[in-house]
């Protein structure tokens, strides 16, 4: 009875200290995990570079946010519309 319940070995015993075989699923998971970790490191580097560029842009005075816009008076608006109308006639 004890002979029937023996576990089957996962290696071929050559007497050279073979290690048990790792299931392919674990190898695939490890590979995927390594790829994700590498991608996360690259993304973190790119994000740091982007933050640095945005900070430099803001400090240099070329940032788009916070720029003043000119408010047109009604006369200026009418003048622009008249110019557009005259160009359509030509």
SS3 content of the chain, % helix, strand, coil (to 5): 60, 0, 40
Residue whose C-alpha is closest to residue 20's, from 29, 10, 5, 8:
10
Place of tokens 């998971």: 29
pTM above 0.75, yes or no: no
* Helix H or strand E segment including 61: none
pLDDT values of the chain reduced to their tens digit, one per residue, 90 residues? 455 556 665 556 566 666 777 688 888 899 999 999 999 999 999 999 999 998 888 787 665 666 666 778 899 999 999 988 888 766
- Structural domain spans, the chain: 22-59
């Amino acid at each position: 009875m004890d002979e029937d319940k023996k576990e089957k070995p996962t290696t071929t015993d050559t007497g050279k200290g073979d290690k048990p075989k790792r299931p392919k699923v674990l190898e695939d998971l490890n590979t995927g995990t390594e790829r994700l970790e590498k991608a996360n490191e690259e993304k973190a580097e790119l994000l740091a570079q982007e933050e640095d560029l945005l900070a430099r842009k803001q400090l240099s005075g070329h940032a788009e946010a916070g720029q003043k816009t000119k408010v047109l008076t009604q006369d200026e608006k009418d003048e622009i519309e008249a110019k557009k109308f005259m160009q359509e006639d030509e």
